[in-house]
Each structure stands twice: as C-alpha cells, then as structure tokens.
Amino acid sequence: MVDSGVPLDNITYSTLITAARRCRQFAKAVEWFERMYSPPSGVLPDEVTYSAVLDVYAQLRMKEEVLALFDRARGSGWKPDHVAFAVLAKMFGEAGDYDGIQFVFKEMREVGIKPNIFVYNALLEALGKTGKPGLARNLFEEMAAEGVEPNARTLTAVAKIYGRARWGRDALQLWDQMRDKKIPADSILCNTLLSMCADVGLVAEAEQLFEEMKDPDLTDVPQPDKWSYTAMINIYGSIKDADRALQLFVEMLQSGIEANIMSYTIVIQCLGKANRIRDAVEVLEAGLERGLKPDDRLCGCLLSVVALSSGEETELVLGCLEKFNGNLVKLIRMLGDDQVGADELKEQLKAVLNAAETEVRRPYCNCLIDICQNHGLPARRPRELFRLAQGYGLYSKLHIRKDDEWLLDLRSLSVGAAKTAFDDWMVALSERAAQGQTLPQSFNVFTGSSTHKFAQGLASAFAAHLKEAAAPFRPSESQVGSFVSSRDELVPWLQTSSPSSPGCFSICWH
C-alpha cells in the first residue's frame, strides 16, 4: 500500500497496531502508533486504536505514557470503553497502585459506563494484588447486585483473595454460590479453590471437590493434575495427617502424574513434623532417583527436618542433604564443633547465604538456630548465628521504638529464633540499664496470632519460654499474641538474672 501510494487510513493503522499487539510485538505497535500521528499521515486514532495502544503501553509498563495518552484521548472527546478500563485496572493492580484503581472507578462513573464481566474481573484481580480484600468483597457483591454473572476467572480471583485473607466464612459462601449456580470450573479455578480450602482449613469441602474431579462421569469439572494433588497434600500436611498425605502422594505417582518439587517439599515436611524421619528420607531418595532437582526451599525443608530429628536419623537426613548442598551440611558440622571460631563460622555462613535465594535466607537462619537449640550444640551458637544474620540484614525491623514503648516483633521467626531474639534483647536491655541509660515505660513482645485454622502459633511456645525464664511478661489483655511488661517490673528482673540462674534466658549471658 505504501509503495503503491495508497494512503493508510484509521482502519489500516488500527489493524496493524492491533495485530502487532496480539502478536506481542509491542515495539512494532508503538512504532505504527507514532507513525500514525506523524506527517504526512496525520490520521487521528479512534476508540479501537486508543484501547489497543493503552494496552501496549501497559504491557510495556509505561505507566506515564498510559496516563498521558488517556488524558489526551479524553481531551479530544474520546469516551473510553470497557476494554480501556480493564487495561487500566490491570495495570494499576499489577503495580499495587490503589489510588490508580480508585481513578478507574471515578472515570467510569464520569463517563456513565457500567463495568462488564471483563472490567469486574480486572478490578477484582487488581484489588487482590493491592491487598484490599474488603473492597474486593464489596465489589464482588456489587457485581452480583448488578446482575453480572461471575465466570470461572471471577471466582478464581475471589478465591485467591479470600484464601490470602483467611476468610473462612466468605470462602464457604463463595463455595455455596458456585455449587448452587453450577458454574463450570476449569483447572485453574478448581486448583485455586483447593488452595483456598488449604488456607482457611476447609478439609471436607476440599475432599468433596477433589473426589468430584476424580470422577470420570462428571464433565463439568476437570481431572486433577499435579497442582490439584499438591493442594490436597498441603491440606493433609496442615492437619498433620502424614498417612493421608503420603497415601495421596503415592496415588499421584501411580496415576502417572509426575510430582513437582512443591509436592515433595510438603510431604517431606509433613513426615518430618510427624517424626517419621526415615519415611521422609525414603521419599527424598526416591525423588532423586526419579530426577528430582532440589531447590533452596527443599533444602530449607530438610533443615527443619534436621531440627526435628535425633541420633542416626539426623545423620540420614544430613547424608541426603550433602548430596546436593555440601556447604550447608559443612556449616551444621561447624556449628557442632566447639573449636570452630566466630570468624570461620561467619565465612561459611556467608558462603551458604550467598548461594541461596534471597527469600530463603532468613528461614535458613531460623532453622539453623533451631538445630543449635534442639541438638544441644554449644550454647553460644544460637546467639552467634542470630548476630551474624542481623549483620546481613536478615533480622531487621524486629525492634520498633516509640517514646513510651519498645516492641519486639517475632512473627517471622521460628520458635528457636524467637527465643534467641528475645534473649538477645534482654541482654541488650540489661546492659543499657546497667549503664544508667534511659528505658521506656513499657515493653511489648508480639508473636502474632494466626487466623489459619491449623496454624502452629508461636504464642504458646513463647509463653512457655517466658515461664521457664521467669521473665516478668504477661499476655496483653487488648491484643492476642502480645506479651507486655513495664519498666518497674523488668529492670529488677534484669538486675537479678545471672549466668547461673535457671531458665532459658541464662544461656545468652555466656
């Protein structure tokens, strides 16, 4: 057309831009859009072009260009359609921009357009990503009130939101709504629902759905895949039903479904918590024979199993771990050797952490501290590890200081690491008091209180630690999972504590 001198009109440019967008050649789409404006063309875009280019800019994460084009188009009299608003909602959601989502709502009201299923889905997914479950629930209810029927994508988005928020009651209502309306479910929806059930502890509902998925006579639900089995294994792991978790894992393999690394990790963790260490080792060894390639999360799982094991079983786990992470096993051996100094330990820990993904570094240190405490390693090791991890920024933001209150936030720590962090804090406060430095009026230790039905809370274990140390902290009357003390109570106790005193606190004075 260009060579023949045929002028390109709006339809031609829109077609080229849309084709490039659908082929995910976003640079080409932008090139044609810019050419559209340039002389001698001077062709003005229409509604289709604006929507397509907005999506292209959003895909390229060019947020400023999206907003500039939207404002320019609105100034020229363009009325955005559902596609344009869905694009904006998705972009703001992926950016976690709640103000941007509010902007979408405002613009839709101004142009007098009601959301359709595609806009609702985009908005729900966006609100889920911005951590606004309450607003997402309100939007879902508004959608029902407007008579817009949810589809599988809608329910998938809402199920993820309710699962993350641990909203068991809302999850049950969503479940009933799906059953009543007989909404066809795809694999993504079913697996999301199973994961939601795992999050909020709906065991019976998950079992019902899973059995339906396995029923060949039911055509409105898909057959279970590896993610379905993994979700169910996770549920049985949550309720400490190691027999059922292992049985389902074996059933998956016998069905010809290759287990993913997450399935292996969950089963091994479940068996470890049930003190079935040898079974956990057998599962791991069988996986290695089948070509399993352990990742950092599986290594962290094995560290937790080491912390729970003893004697010969500990050596069995370490023997497996050594096959693919020798540095980690070397570090554990060094922790048990009283002759190893702090500098050697620091170098080895640094090597282990540098080789690990960022998100597993703190869990690694948590487990290593648990191993030190559970296996009776040299008494100084937990605090040495804790201090080294602090130096690497892995235990930052534990301490919050206000004018009249100091708080220690232990929610992201294991039991052993939480005890060590608390004991280390007490040592620091004792030194401060001995030097006559100012202390606040009150102290607060926050362990959190999980809303997960089957969660293993830290509060009870920490309460036992406080009792053993005879520390003057008591449960807060206003906040579950908090333990409080006053300066008048704590300072005398710090002054009378000593290395020879009984209780867990004394180990940190060595």
- Same domain for 426 and 353? no
Task: Find the helix or strand (DSSP H, E) in which 378 lies.
Answer: none
Tell the residue number behind the tokens 């962090």, with chain if given.
421
Whether residue 95 contacts residue 63, with contact meaning beta carbons closer than 8 Å, is answered with: yes
269 within a domain of the structure (yes/no)? no
Q: Residue 458's closest CA among 408, 498, 492, 497? A: 408
| Residue 393, CA distances (Å) to 115, 353, 359, 365 in order | 45, 12, 12, 12
360 within a domain of the structure (yes/no)? yes
- Same domain for 451 and 362? no
CA distance 298 to 391: 25
CA distance 503 to 467: 8
pTM for the whole structure: 0.74
227 within a domain of the structure (yes/no)? no
Q: Residue 25's closest CA among 59, 2, 51? A: 59
419 within a domain of the structure (yes/no)? yes
CA distance 76 to 319: 70
241 class by beta-carbon count within 10 Å (0-12 exposed, 13-18 middle, 19+ buried): middle
Domain of residue 476, CATH code: 3.30.1370.110
453 within a domain of the structure (yes/no)? yes
- Could you say which of 393, 419, 451 is where a domain stops? 393
Domain around 308:
294-393
- Same domain for 406 and 357? no
Whether residue 459 contacts residue 449, with contact meaning beta carbons closer than 8 Å, is answered with: yes
Q: What are phi and psi of 385, to 5 degrees?
A: -60, -45
pLDDT score recorded for residue 175: 75
Q: How many domains does the chain have?
A: 2
- In sequence order, the 6+-apart residues with CB closer than 8 A to the CB of 102 are none
- Same domain for 387 and 409? no
First to last CA, the chain: 85
pLDDT score recorded for residue 450: 54
Q: Where are the alpha helices (DSSP H) in 166-202?
A: 168-181, 187-200
Other C-beta atoms within 10 Å of 510: how many?
9
- Same domain for 317 and 357? yes
- Same domain for 406 and 458? yes
- Say if strands 405-409 and 442-446 run parallel, antiparallel, or are unpaired: parallel
223 within a domain of the structure (yes/no)? no
- Same domain for 413 and 493? yes
Tens digit of each residue's pLDDT, the chain (510 residues): 888 888 888 888 888 888 988 888 888 888 888 888 776 667 777 777 877 888 888 888 788 888 888 887 888 788 888 888 888 888 887 777 778 878 888 888 888 888 888 888 888 888 888 778 888 888 888 888 888 888 888 888 888 888 888 887 787 788 777 777 777 778 888 898 888 888 888 899 899 889 989 998 887 788 999 999 999 998 998 888 999 999 999 999 999 998 999 999 999 999 999 999 999 999 999 999 999 999 999 999 999 999 999 999 999 999 999 999 999 999 999 999 999 999 999 999 999 999 999 999 999 999 999 999 999 999 999 999 999 999 999 998 899 999 899 999 998 899 999 999 999 999 999 999 889 898 999 999 999 865 444 344 688 889 999 999 999 999 998 888 899 999 999 999 998 875 333 334 443 333
313 within a domain of the structure (yes/no)? yes
- Same domain for 358 and 383? yes
Whether residue 407 contacts residue 400, with contact meaning beta carbons closer than 8 Å, is answered with: yes
- Same domain for 337 and 413? no
- Could you say which of 393, 408, 430 is where a domain stops? 393
202 within a domain of the structure (yes/no)? no
Q: Dig out the tokens for 319 from the structure.
A: 């023997």
- Could you say which of 393, 417, 433 is where a domain stops? 393
